[in-house]
Structure 1
Amino acid sequence: MQGLSKPITDNSFRTRLIAGVDEAGRGPLAGPVIAAAVILDPACPIAGLADSKKLSPLRRQQLFQQIREQALAWSVARASVAEIDTFNILQASLLAMQRAVHKLSMRPEMALIDGNRCPRLSCPVQAIIRGDESEPAISAASIVAKVLRDRLMLLLDKRYPQYGFAAHKGYPTAAHIQALHCHGPSRAHRRSFAPVAECIVNGVRR
């Protein structure tokens, strides 16, 4: 499912049909991990693409809309909480990336992956550490994944309002940890993650 990356030694890939791939949600204690794949149109560049974590929510929304309208193709996929608990978060993230690329409406000639591990794909693949800061297609994928995962966490907040998902999106903030200890884990929580597992061991169940 994965492989170590090798450094890029030339820029020939920049002239091909490139899919940028990134995920959102590796660190949270709850919710799925979401991956996105984006093929940008070289004839229609999008200004301001950057690592989604460095953009304001409003700016992410604006760029997300531009990506939807101007990209040649884009797709999203997820790995569920059950898959995260079964395979571990790294393998689940790679699985979500693989699914996102396979869902693209056109086949990329190459995929650029944020990080240092690659999913198995039918096209050549290259991992780039901090690629969401340097490669526009990866930046676009990071924005799409972040926006859609945040929207999903807002839906989970309505289902489980006692955890405050709307505020922290599932990340292990002090308020989230306190809610876990008070209410125990929900079905949306990742039981393989230590703070959640500790609540189960200590008998705090929903």
Structure 2
Amino acid sequence: MKKWLIPVIIIGLLVLGGYSWVKGFYNSTVQLNENVSESWGNVQTAYQRRSDLIGNLVNTVKGAADYEKETLTSVIEARAKATSVTVDPTNITPEQLAKFNEVQGGLSGALKSLLVTVERYPDLKANQNFLKLQDELTSTENQILTARTRYNEAIKPFNNHVKTFPNNILAGFFNFEGKPYFDSEAGADKAPNVEFNFSDKE
């Protein structure tokens, strides 16, 4: 073998190895990022379902109880704010997630106020539509919790992949950044209590 071939072979192997590393990193990152996007989509779907149920719940209560207009207005406004905030799953920032969390927390608080108000109207216990919405809302809150958990589970491998050395070098080159975890809003360590105490008290 001619001596000049040795450095050519070495350079060729280095180029091939570098190409394989870059290709493997990029493809893996894209796949992990798609998992994150899918998980975030499930989060949004769960929240959208809750928003739809709240709209139906408000209409049902409105037709069956003469409750405070202020409570209804606060729920409607909070629902509008919650549905107006969107997050790009391909470029989720801590600020975007914090804003999303804030408006969803506002809707949770307004919903709790509505449910407390509703308890003063025992006639609603005979409303089958209301009872069905109550059950669906409870189920949806559990779906939201599950979706948030799975989103965080999808974030961890992505962040580990792009933040560890030497992958972080390529991550910077391709503009792949770590993504924020989903934290519950303050005071929301529990799903809203949607159990109604329809006693015989009038």
Q: Sort the TM-score into its range (normalised by shorter chain).
A: under 0.3
Name the one with the larger strand percent: 1
TM-score by length of 2: 0.25
TM-score by length of 1: 0.24
